Amino acid sequence: MPRPRPSRRQQDARFAWAAQSLRLRGLASGEHEPLCLREALYLQLLRDNKRPRMSDFILSEPLFRLECIERAWQEEQAAEVSLNE
């Protein structure tokens, strides 16, 4: 019998986990620069030769969405300030 299809909530949670996981791996390899304090802390721990657990730096899906919205709002505010100058 086939497995039931995952719910939308499960799909969203898996997507958020995968996106953050890829981002943290990119930070570790030097492909990305940190976009938030959480990522900067992860990178700093790596540079200090600590071994942070990646799972400690992955947010739940609602918090990940909130972080994305907050980052977009900050970028929008910065763009408005640069246009006004």
Rounded distance between C-alpha atoms, residue 41 and residue 45, angstroms: 6
Rounded distance between C-alpha atoms, residue 22 and residue 3, angstroms: 27
Tell me, what DSSP letter sits at residue 45? H
- Write the pLDDT tens digit of every residue in 11-63: 999 999 999 999 999 999 999 999 888 999 999 999 999 989 999 999 998 99
Q: Where are the domains of the chain?
A: 19-84
> What is the model's pLDDT at position 31?
94
> What is the model's pLDDT at position 41?
94
Residue 51 burial (CB < 10 Å; 0-12/13-18/19+)? exposed
Tokens of 5: 């299809």
Q: Which residue has the higher pLDDT, 84 or 32?
A: 32
pTM assigned to the model: 0.77
From first CA to last CA, the distance across the chain in angstroms is: 64
> What is the model's pLDDT at position 40?
93
